[in-house]
Amino acid sequence: MTVDDGRFAGARHVERLQPVEGRALEVKQGETLRIAQVEGGQCVDFNAFNLADYKEHMSVGHSRRMGISLEEGGVLFTNPPHFRPLLFIAHLPSSAKTDLIGARCHAALFERRLGFDWHTNCQDTIAEAIRQYDLTPDDVHDSFNIFMNTRIDPERGWVFEWNSATADDHIDLVACMDALCVPVVCGSGDVTMLSNAFLRPIDVAILPPTRDSMEFVDAANGFFATEAQARASEHRMPIKSARELARNPAYEPAFRRAPIGVVDLEVPLPAGYLERLEHEADRAGISVEDCARRLMLTWAQVNASTLPARPGVGGAAVDDELRARWERGHKGGM
Ligand SMILES: [Zn+2]
């Protein structure tokens, strides 16, 4: 279906997804996937894969290190061992919330909680959308929830709020690599607050690369580049096809750096420090050695950054923004 909306001028693809549909869309590096409200208040579940290797896909768990709700400027990462920037949130108004806790709704949940023999749900909608690329229900992964208004309540835990997204709201996701992106209309709409107790359409569009988007892609890929990513691609293994697990009799353990080596280090301490350390250890009920390690790591967590300096990568402003977010993530989540 074509959509007549000024927000999609210049797009190479535009379509309206009716309740309860989803679509697998190829979004090339530097292109922007725009997901837009039509009437407002509709929650969208989202999966994404590396187009060149479906085993590398969005990891909501690792992206969550930057917060349980991402805002404009946030980055979605792929699963380790890759851990590469997959999508960058280039636009998200404050009325549109996101959630990285709800993994996705599924039929078993609605059957057990509400007694439905089958209710529309995101597991099945995503599975149907990715079937176009011969992916299976097993390949559906935890969802990045867009236009989903949740919060952590000290007493009640994870709670749903009325969906605050307006009809004018949209999110822009810039692809840092060629990606298969899968937005779906969340099927929980009529039985939860997440989509304001109804099911509504959403619009999706793919916009061509711009100078800004390409600059960000270069900056992000440079900034987050690691040796581990290169090794992950080099050591890619064939994909196992049998479902049952059977022990491989030829297996020989080959853990790296195991067993670990322990080296005694002499640490010169200022006068009176050992007594304080012994007192602290006694109070905490741990050994003096553990106490010294705990103090050192507590200090390091607050004061030391493990970030390598990467001068000259991309635009300075983008680099600063990334560095600030990344440092916050490290201090909060390590
Ligand atoms: Zn859902």
Q: Tens of pLDDT along 140-189?
A: 999 999 999 999 999 999 999 999 999 999 999 999 999 999 999 999 99
pLDDT at 302 over 80: no
- Mean pLDDT over 9-24 rounds to 97
**Ligand 1: centre distance to CA 171 (Å):** 18
**Ligand 1: centre distance to CA 105 (Å):** 4
Q: Is the peptide bond before 267 cis (omega within 30 degrees of 0)?
A: no
- 76 closest CA partner among 165, 211, 205, 183: 183
pLDDT at 310 over 50: no
pLDDT at 326 over 60: no
**Ligand 1: centre distance to CA 143 (Å):** 9
Report residue 279 as tokens: 């007192």
* Residue linked to tokens 């709704």: 105
**Ligand 1: centre distance to CA 229 (Å):** 32
124 or 2, greater pLDDT: 124
Local confidence band at 325 (pLDDT 50, 70, 90 cut-offs): low
**Ligand 1: centre distance to CA 121 (Å):** 5
Give the pLDDT score at 201.
98
CA atoms within 13 Å, Cβ hemisphere of 297: 7
Local confidence band at 2 (pLDDT 50, 70, 90 cut-offs): low
pLDDT at 191 over 50: yes
**Ligand 1: centre distance to CA 334 (Å):** 30
Q: Is 244 exposed, middle or buried (0-12, 13-18, 19+ CB in 10 A)?
A: exposed
Give the pLDDT score at 306.
53
Average pLDDT over all residues of the chain? 89
Give the pLDDT score at 331.
42
> Residue 123 and residue 79: Cα distance in Å, rounded?
19
**Ligand 1: centre distance to CA 145 (Å):** 8
- The SS3 call for residue 139 is helix
126 or 298, greater pLDDT: 126
Local confidence band at 332 (pLDDT 50, 70, 90 cut-offs): very low
pLDDT digits (tens, 9 = 90+) for 31-67: 999 999 999 999 999 999 999 999 999 999 999 988 8
Instruction: Name the amino acid, one letter, at 168.
Output: D
**Ligand 1: centre distance to CA 20 (Å):** 10
Local confidence band at 296 (pLDDT 50, 70, 90 cut-offs): confident
Q: What is the radius of gyration, based on Cα positions, of the chain?
A: 23
Buried b (16+ CB within 10 A) or exposed e, 284-296: eeeeeeebbeeee
**Ligand 1: centre distance to CA 187 (Å):** 5
Helical segments of the chain, H only: 60-63, 107-114, 122-130, 211-223, 227-234, 273-284, 288-303, 316-333
pLDDT digits (tens, 9 = 90+) for 195-248: 999 999 999 999 999 999 999 999 999 988 989 888 888 888 899 999 999 999
**Ligand 1: centre distance to CA 178 (Å):** 25
**Ligand 1: centre distance to CA 264 (Å):** 54
**Ligand 1: centre distance to CA 219 (Å):** 33
Give the pLDDT score at 239.
94
Report residue 30 as tokens: 């530097």
Name 39's Cβ contacts closer than 8 Å, sequence gap at least 6.
167, 200, 201
Local confidence band at 327 (pLDDT 50, 70, 90 cut-offs): low
**Ligand 1: centre distance to CA 103 (Å):** 9
Give the pLDDT score at 5.
75
Local confidence band at 303 (pLDDT 50, 70, 90 cut-offs): confident
**Ligand 1: centre distance to CA 283 (Å):** 49
**Ligand 1: centre distance to CA 45 (Å):** 6
**Ligand 1: centre distance to CA 113 (Å):** 15
pLDDT at 333 over 90: no
**Ligand 1: centre distance to CA 102 (Å):** 9
**Ligand 1: centre distance to CA 142 (Å):** 11
> Residue 180 and residue 103: Cα distance in Å, rounded?
19
> Residue 219 and residue 322: Cα distance in Å, rounded?
9
- Mean pLDDT over 121-133 rounds to 98
Q: Helices 288-303 & 273-284, crossing angle to 10 degrees?
A: 100
Give the pLDDT score at 235.
82
Q: What is this structure's pTM? A: 0.87
pLDDT digits (tens, 9 = 90+) for 103-114: 999 999 999 999
